[in-house]
């Protein structure tokens, strides 16, 4: 299982902002630092703002910053905003119906991994990830 590109970008931006609490960043500055496509980043920042994860500050010294009043922010919340959580509850082989009553061949093995992934995204917050982003993109 792999995060979609949008989720990767969202996590990178959010961790970067968490590492620079209180600082304001324009989309252009974030684009230059994180090497995320400019237009894509603009749309992403709008989504993160609508979700209440970041604040927009208007004016000459404006930009985006982490909404410190909205803490903690967990990975599952970020994923839910940008791609939804449906992919993390799917059958690994792609079957529409896959359950304990109607399992696919890998169901019992995938269920353990799926539960581990779910635990990870529900229990890791931005606070846990502070200081982990190396900007080298």
Closest CA to 10 of 70, 84, 85, 82: 82
pLDDT band at residue 137 using 50, 70 and 90 as cut-offs: very low
CATH architecture of 5-84+125-129: Orthogonal Bundle (1.10)
What pLDDT is stored for residue 22 in this prediction?
A: 86
Model pTM above 0.75: yes
Could you tell me if 25 and 65 are in contact, meaning their C-beta atoms sit under 8 angstroms apart?
A: yes
Domain boundaries, the chain: 5-84+125-129
Alpha-carbon distance of 89 to 28, in angstroms, equals: 36
Give 39-86 pLDDT, tens digit per residue.
Answer: 999 999 999 999 999 999 888 778 999 998 887 999 999 999 998 887
Could you tell me if 63 and 22 are in contact, meaning their C-beta atoms sit under 8 angstroms apart?
A: no
Could you tell me if 13 and 36 are in contact, meaning their C-beta atoms sit under 8 angstroms apart?
A: yes
What pLDDT is stored for residue 94 in this prediction?
A: 85
Alpha-carbon distance of 38 to 10, in angstroms, equals: 13
């Amino acid at each position: 299982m792999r995060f979609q590109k949008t989720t990767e970008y969202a996590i990178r931006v959010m961790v970067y902002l968490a590492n620079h609490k209180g600082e304001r960043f324009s989309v252009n500055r974030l684009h230059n630092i994180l090497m995320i496509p400019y237009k894509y980043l603009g749309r992403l920042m709008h989504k993160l703002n609508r979700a209440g994860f970041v604040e927009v500050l208007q004016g000459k010294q404006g930009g985006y910053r982490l909404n410190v009043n909205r803490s903690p922010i967990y990975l599952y919340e970020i994923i839910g905003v940008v791609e939804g959580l449906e992919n993390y509850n799917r059958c690994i082989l792609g079957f529409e119906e896959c359950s304990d009553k109607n399992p696919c061949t890998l169901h019992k093995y995938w269920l353990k991994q799926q539960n581990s992934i779910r635990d990870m995204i529900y229990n890791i917050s931005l606070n846990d990830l502070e200081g982990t982003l190396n900007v080298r993109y």
